[in-house]
Amino acid sequence: MKSYERKQLLARIDREGATIGASIPETITVEGEPLELRAFVFEARSRESVPAEDREEIEMAKRNLRRERIARRERIEEGDVGRDRGEELAESIIGIDRALHALSDLGTADVEAEAEAQERADRKRWVSFLQQALGNESGGRRAGGRR
């Protein structure tokens, strides 16, 4: 593969929005083991909430996918592959990116619920503080009133 072709492939991989319209590969080999990536992502995304024991598996899969992405990108960078193989690697990298994006926001419902609970607690503390500062505590004192 020529230098400019390699640069074009790398630019395509690194482009913002490269995953738009891309599909997740049906199967991918990660660290020598075949992984049914599309089914794995579909199954993980189809649940309303992800149990703690499954989150660990998903996090491990994401780490392995990131490593595989780096290894494939390095093969293109080194230029040890032909044009066709480089295209295949680029497409698989974009598919890995799509899968990583799909897996990245799993469990956000828990994070959102936690953030809402935190916000409610913050509001309650703020109202309590204002009541104390203005003398409107439940003890019956009023702001600017006499004791």
Q: Which domain holds residue 124?
A: 107-147
pLDDT on residue 61: 86
Q: What is the pLDDT of residue 73?
A: 93
In whole angstroms, how large is the CA radius of gyration of the chain? 26
37 and 47 co-located in one domain: yes
Query: Which runs of consecutive H residues, i.e. helices, occur in the chain?
Result: 3-14, 37-46, 52-78, 83-104, 108-134
Backbone angles phi, psi at 129, to 5 degrees: -60, -45
Dist CA 121 CA 29 (whole Å): 47
β-bridge mates for residue 28, sequence order: 35
Q: Does residue 14 sit in the same domain as residue 86?
A: yes
pLDDT at 110: 55
Residue 80 shares a structural domain with residue 111: no
User: Do residues 133 and 139 touch, judged by C-beta distance below 8 A?
Assistant: no
Calculate mean pLDDT across residues 126-133: 85
pLDDT tens readout for residues 40-77: 888 888 877 777 777 788 888 889 999 999 999 999 99
35 and 12 in a common domain? yes
Helices (H) and strands (E) in the chain, counts: 5, 2
Q: Give the integer Cα–Cα distance in Å for 38 and 26.
A: 5
Per-residue pLDDT tens over the stretch 69-94: 999 999 999 878 898 999 999 999 99
Considering the domain architecture, whether residues 63 and 129 belong to the same structural domain is answered as: no
Q: Which residues contact 134 (CB under 8 A, 6 or more apart)?
A: 143
The pLDDT assigned to 96 comes to 92
Handedness of CA 117, 123, 128, 129 (dihedral sign): positive
The count of structural domains within the chain is: 2
Same domain, 8 and 42: yes
Together in a domain, 100 and 38:
yes
138 and 115 fall within a common domain: yes
Q: What confidence tens digit (pLDDT) does each residue in 87-120 have?
A: 999 999 999 999 998 888 765 445 566 677 788 8
Which pLDDT does position 147 carry in this prediction? Answer: 46
State pLDDT tens for residues 3-31: 898 899 899 998 888 888 888 889 988 88
